[in-house]
Amino acid sequence: MKLISSMPLSEKQVVQLMSARPDLEIETVKAFSEPDSQVEALLTYGWDVTEETLELYPNLQWIQAMSAGVDRLPLIKLAEKNILLTNVRGAHAIQMSEHVIWSMLNLLRQGRQVMHQQDQKIWSAKLRVEEMYEKTVCIVGAGTIGEAVAEKCRAFGMTVLGISRSGESHPTYDRMGALGELPHFLEISDVVVAILPLTQETENFFDAERFSQMKEGAYFINVARGPVVDEEALLEALKGGKLRGAALDVFVNEPLSESSPFWTMENVFLTPHIGGRSPGYTKRMFDVLIKNTRNFPERQDMINHIQLDKGY
């Protein structure tokens, strides 16, 4: 089996892979640019594989994306060629759920303003602070990460609502709903968390209409992908007071332009797409790679299959 990787691999990682699959031949490259009829698998962060890339490897059977989102990959062409795509779903759950809780606390406890006061050496206890306890949170995109967020929110005494495609009940949530129930869930939620994947259906999912459906003075957190939000509509909701605040880790264009108004808004807690970062992430995503490498080409034994027609 030959695998080529556009992400760097340490000597230790190569040894681990070879131990899992003794017949493995590994090649690391800066870019997928040279044709090779022996290649059966690609390892990528998920942004450097195009339709043209696929033509370089006529015997390609599997792509392992070392990310959760796969929206930048040529999904239609992968389906046409019957190429298996897997991701590292689950590897982000711990750190991203912690990031959501941190963001929520910053919004409710006025973290941005407190840090400003510290920088200016201002001693003032006049800030309006709130509790997570007994507030209602709606998690839009109730997958693996959403479940981890839900567990932590329940530990803080919150009522947890979830939106998924099926709306199937889940013990971690107080109530689950399908898309048709979203308007009602938005109307009663103090905090709305976006964790849904980016697909054709979810681009600009949070638009002016959905922000208008939210509870007056609610908070909005986006750790999904920037394009799931209509940023102009979000700005209007924040400026007009419909939303009390927002925590944003992702944006339509990254890095965020210095001219973006989000930088200077007092009711915005902004982070540079770091929700998925943590020391433990590398090991968790590599565990997925090892399992799938060991079991290839037995697709039924490989994990984290992407449904190419749905994009997740």
Q: Which of 147, 225, 231, 244 is catalytic?
A: 225
Region for residue 304 given its phi and psi (left: phi exceeds 0; alpha: psi -120 to 50; beta: otherwise) = left
- Specify the pLDDT at position 305: 97
- Specify the pLDDT at position 24: 97
Fold that domain 93-270 belongs to in CATH: Rossmann fold (3.40.50)
Q: Which of 80, 187, 254, 266 is catalytic?
A: 254
Q: What does the pLDDT look like over 260-273, one tens digit per residue?
A: 999 999 999 999 99
- Specify the pLDDT at position 103: 98
* Alpha carbons 275 and 101: distance in angstroms, whole number: 11
- The answer to whether residue 225 is catalytic is yes
- Specify the pLDDT at position 215: 98
* Alpha carbons 1 and 267: distance in angstroms, whole number: 53
CATH-assigned architecture of domain 2-91+281-301: 3-Layer(aba) Sandwich (3.40)
Q: Which of 273, 284, 294, 305 is catalytic?
A: 273
- Specify the pLDDT at position 231: 98
* Alpha carbons 215 and 5: distance in angstroms, whole number: 47
Where in the chain is CATH 3.40.50.720? 2-91+281-301, 93-270
pLDDT averaged per 10 residues, the chain (length 312)? 97 96 97 97 96 97 95 96 96 97 98 96 95 98 96 98 95 97 98 95 97 98 98 98 98 98 97 95 95 97 96 92
Beta-sheet strands, E only, within the chain: 2-5, 25-28, 39-44, 62-65, 84-86, 136-140, 159-163, 175-177, 191-194, 218-222, 243-248, 268-270
